[in-house]
Structure 1
Amino acid sequence: MYERILIPTDGSTGTAHVALQAIDLAEQYGATIHALHVVDETVEGLATDAGDQLRQRGQQAVDQVERMAEAHGVATVTVVEEGDPAETIVAYAEAEDVDLIVAGTHGRSGVRRRLIGSVAERLVRRAPCPVMTVRLPETDVTVSDADAAGDIASEALADDGIDAAVTGVERQQSVWIVEATADDERYLVYVDPVTRRTSVIDQGSEE
């Protein structure tokens, strides 16, 4: 049903939740995620250092979507372009024959929030494919409790062929740390609370 799913992103707080909606669909249908950031051509100073910072911020936004998709085994294309946001997104969707656009309903606070809301409305009216709009929450955190972190860690261990039991979960500043054991072996699994990416560390045998 879907082969190419487009996520327009500005890196706003909460866009990780939008990305996860698209990634879940991509997993189901074997689709490729296209993460697109558009640097608004009407912003003053695009030819200055400030413009370079905007492009760098845009690259960081699409890179975050790519990291999330990679953690779920989903192929990703990342693109940063300049232009009118809505027009550029529509043109990209047409050129790449996109099957679905998944977009947040607002972006950064104040004027920026109203701008992104307007972009989403224009996409719904003009896009050449269906548009799924997702209301952005006030946080980027997608793994908000210990049970969810433990489940993700268990899946990561199982993917490595390890049938382990979770024995403890602790939230530190920027990561969940999950302890697990299997056949007298101890493991630590680090779970990124935004991207859900995991790292499994074998700590050796229990003494």
Structure 2
Amino acid sequence: MARKTVVPFDDSPQANAALRYALEEFPDAEITVLHVIRLPEGYWTIFVDSEEDFPGHERAEEHAYKLLESAEEISSSYDHPIDTTFKRGDPAREIVEFAVTNDFDQIVMGSHGRQGASRLLFGSVAEQVVRRAPMTVVVVHDADES
């Protein structure tokens, strides 16, 4: 049986490396590429009724579609079909929830490898996913970025 694999994707070198890794290492896997649109946070969010009311949501969705198109281009070079989708919210939370809800066997994702103060300020989505996900998480570092 083919493994179900979700690859979070933001078109960074790390995400590109993770997608390429998944396509190379799991050629028989069902691969879904997921982009998460990070929603703004803060007290002013109580003034909107839905996610569509956030300023710039249309541009964020257009950007998501472009990112997912670039993932499809990468997969076509491997002659491997993929599914694509996007969610809105906190990236780590949405990635894990999507993987659990859709019965994925594994998550293959890139890591920016932040250290020190930037890691404390921004956190690590990959680290949060590793801690929260009940399935295997493969973290790929882009060799060109190390």
Structure 2 unpaired stretches of 5+: 46-50
Q: Which has the higher strand share?
A: 1
Deviant stretches of 4+, over 6 Å:
none
Given candidates 25, 35, 38, the residue that maps to 1:37 is 35
Instruction: Let me know the Cα RMSD of the aligned residues.
Output: 2.8
Q: Distance in 2 between matches of 1:137 and 1:50?
A: 34
What SS is found at the alignment partner of 2:10? coil
Change (3 A) 1:119 1:96: same
Quote the offset at 1:95 in angstroms.
Answer: 1.5
Change (3 A) 1:127 1:48: closer
Given candidates 58, 69, 73, the residue that maps to 1:63 is 69
Quote the offset at 1:2 in angstroms.
Answer: 4.7
Change (3 A) 1:111 1:80: farther
**Residue 101 of structure 1 aligns with which residue?**
107
Question: How much identity, in percent, do the aligned residues show?
Answer: 29
Q: Distance in 2 between matches of 1:52 and 1:111?
A: 29
| Greater RCO, 1 or 2 (C-alpha within 8 Å, sep 6+) | 2
Quote the offset at 1:137 in angstroms.
Answer: 4.8
Aligned residues: 134
Contact 1:31 1:75 survives alignment (8 Å): no
Residue 76 of structure 1 pairs with residue 74 of structure 2: no
Deviations 1:140-190 (A, max 9, x none): xxxxxxxxxxxxxxxxxxxxxxxxxxxxxxxxxxxxxxxxxxxxxxxxxxx
Question: TM-score, normalization: structure 1?
Answer: 0.56
Max Rg structure: 1
Q: Which has the higher helix share?
A: 2
